Amino acid sequence: MYIEVIPSAQSHYQGSLENKIAIVIDVFRATSTMATALANGAAALIPAASVEEALARKRENPEALLGGERQAVLIEGFDLGNSPDEYTVEKVKGKKVIITTTNGTMAIKAAAPAEKVRMLSFLNMDSVVRKVDQEIRECPGIDGIIIVCSGTEERFDLPDTLCAGMFIEQFGRGINVNDLGLAAQMLYNSSKPNLLETLKNTEHGQVLITLGFQKDVEYCSAVNRLSVVPVLRNGEIVWREDR
Amino acid sequence: MYIEVIPSAQSHYQGSLENKIAIVIDVFRATSTMATALANGAAALIPAASVEEALARKRENPEALLGGERQAVLIEGFDLGNSPDEYTVEKVKGKKVIITTTNGTMAIKAAAPAEKVRMLSFLNMDSVVRKVDQEIRECPGIDGIIIVCSGTEERFDLPDTLCAGMFIEQFGRGINVNDLGLAAQMLYNSSKPNLLETLKNTEHGQVLITLGFQKDVEYCSAVNRLSVVPVLRNGEIVWREDR
């Protein structure tokens, strides 16, 4: 099994997404927030690439909530920001949330042509590893995994890369990786003893801490707190799937 | 001092190249070959972005040699490939070499607007570190360093990133780095005990070994073998500069 890691939604990748499982990572904070929202009972998340698209989807789904961020803060007129802290049972249970973030929703859109798309964060690492492993065993047509790090405005993002490295490390045996996958694995292994401190010292970690989101940085750095596997189905992100 | 590492010539960087020292890395093999050619007495290297541009520069410099590669091998009609092994004293002493490679010469062109451009490889690490350190002390106008990894066709390249990490590690005190710089430093530190093995196992290392260039992989992985500091001046790469 070949695992290719790409550093941002806009990055070149080898081959095509056909017959691939795409795993999208945006540790700070989109995929962590999505896992939290679904774990807290949200019916679905509808990713929108822009504020305009989010508002258009809201007109089609007037009962849905609007969530997301630009420059890490709440968008004017939106119900929710991008902090997992806001996606409580009280607010999201049974509801759809239209969500647009600077990098994460772009990465999901880029990954959409893949056979299967799953959203990964540290929070739901083990569940995604096991689900993807099972899917590969059950679907002989799957011939590779592409891990799409959301990056930071098209630039390399260390939190996403560390999360990719942990996935590769746990996924284990019988795999080949590209250079960024090898680097991700090395980075994860060398920062495993002090993962939280490493994540805090990244560019994105520092921005969030400066903006008062230290609690989010700590929450999103916690491993295996949620058992949800968010999957993309018909343009919506839901918990599990039947296909 | 802020050091930003970008993964390929085409990558987004923050801010501008003005008042910056740009350091271009293409371990396998362009910047290693350039250092070797200058150390062996080449008068200058003229980087060309394409085979067409190389031939155009040849018409302006009929006595110059033509060197470079596409898909790691010699270009038809060229005098030299991209193996440092070919750039011997006998062949290059006193001569200019027009050189075009898949990734390295693109990165040099991208870096050209910077205040100063220096070419780095493991071979001339210590000399470049000391030269850049001196230039920053002598030129108070310099306000940052950008390290341009050449990458592999716009993708992340581990050998270039390890070389960037070694530069940052040696450059040392009083610096801030972007996430890729931090990752590069972590990667270098974790692979320092077995640098050659790590480099051999990269995508680019494996391609070169498959093509019969294992000797080049070993040569380009050697640290501090050359004291040359290749600098870009008026579109040509020469040893040292006066400006």
Q: Which of A4-18, A56-70, A76-90, B141-155 has the lowest mean pLDDT?
A: A4-18
Of B127, B147, B105, the closest CA to residue B7 belongs to B147
pLDDT bin (cut points 50, 70, 90) of residue A240 is low
Provide mean pLDDT across the span B69-74: 87
| DSSP-derived 3-state class of residue B175 | coil
Domain presence at residue A243: no
Chain A residues near residue B203 by CB distance under 8 angstroms: 178-179
Helix axes B125-138 and B158-171, enclosed angle (nearest 10)? 50
Domain presence at residue B242: no
- C-alpha span between B211 and B160 (Å, rounded): 20
Q: Which of A40-44, A120-124, B74-78, B180-184 has the lowest mean pLDDT?
A: B74-78
Domain presence at residue A107: yes
Domain presence at residue B45: yes
Domain presence at residue A241: no
Order of strands, sheet of B116-120, starting from the edge strand that comes earlier in the sequence: B73-74, B65-70, B96-100, B44-47, B236-239, B230-233, B116-120, B20-25, B144-149, B2-6, B176-177
In chain A, which residue's Cα lies nearest the Cα of B189?
A: A190
Domain presence at residue B240: no
Is the C-alpha dihedral spanning B212, B218, B224, B226 positive or negative? negative
Residues 145-204 of A with CB under 8 A from B: 152-158, 161, 178-180, 182-183, 186-187, 189-191, 201-204
User: CB burial class (10 A; 0-12, 13-18, 19+) of residue A223?
Assistant: middle
CA angle B214, B215, B217 (to 5 degrees): 65
Supply the DSSP symbol for B172.
Answer: -
Look up the domain containing B229 and give its range: 2-234
Nearest to A156 among B180, B191, B201 (CB): B180
In chain B, which residue's Cα lies nearest the Cα of A176?
A: B203
Residue A209, token pair as written in the block: 């801490």
pLDDT at residue A153, rounded to an integer = 80
pLDDT at residue B12, rounded to an integer = 80
Domain presence at residue B239: no
Residue B10 pLDDT greater than 50, yes or no: yes
Domain presence at residue B170: yes
Nearest to B183 among A6, A161, A179 (CB): A161
- B125 close to B223: Cβ distance less than 8 angstroms: yes
pLDDT at residue A242, rounded to an integer = 41
Chain B residues near residue A179 by CB distance under 8 angstroms: 152, 155-158, 202-204
CATH of the domain at A76: 3.90.1560.10
- C-alpha span between B3 and B177 (Å, rounded): 5
How many domains does one find in chain B? 1
